[in-house]
Amino acid sequence: MGIMKNFKDMKDMAAAAPGMMAQAQQMSMQAQQMAAAQQAAAQAQMAQYAQGQAAMAPGAVGPAPAGPDYEPIAGVTLEQFAAVSKGVAAFNYDASKLVEIAASRGIASYDWEQAHHGWNERIKANPAVAARFNQLYRAS
């Protein structure tokens, strides 16, 4: 009786084998599709990271952002503010030289005082403005 049961079990298993094989192949295809999708997502993420790194490279500035926080203050743009701020390095970071540096770039002392205060406030209040200032500062 045990042999007959074994034969019946083998027969049932042989009958189920094609369905199990098809299911295994389907699962394998799904796994391959998921792996390809994950690889594509990882490549896209790496490309995005590489673009960000290129934008942060010294000398790379990229397009100027727009919005009210990027509007000039007393006629002084963020680019000019960064250049004057960087210029003080030649004077051992002596802040008293900022007005002189600004004047050498055609910025009146009164305008510079307003711009200096205004840009510092915007940089403190808006991380995007601070990031753009750092980018411009490194590039100048």
pTM score of the predicted model: 0.56
Q: Is residue 42 part of a domain?
A: yes
């369905």: which residue's tokens? 19
Q: Are residues 83 and 132 in the same domain?
A: yes
Domain contains 44: yes
The beta-carbon contacts of 74-77 under 8 Å, at least 24 apart in sequence, are 74/110, 74/111, 74/112, 74/114, 74/115, 74/118, 75/107, 75/111, 75/115, 76/102, 76/107, 76/111, 76/112, 76/114, 76/115, 76/119
Q: What is the pLDDT of residue 53?
A: 59
CB 115 within 8 A of CB 73: yes
For residues 93 and 133, membership in a common domain is answered with yes
Q: Does residue 128 share a domain with residue 85?
A: yes
Q: Is 73 helix (H, G, I), strand (E, B) or coil?
A: strand
Which residues, given as ranges, of the chain have pLDDT below 70? Answer: 1, 7, 49-62
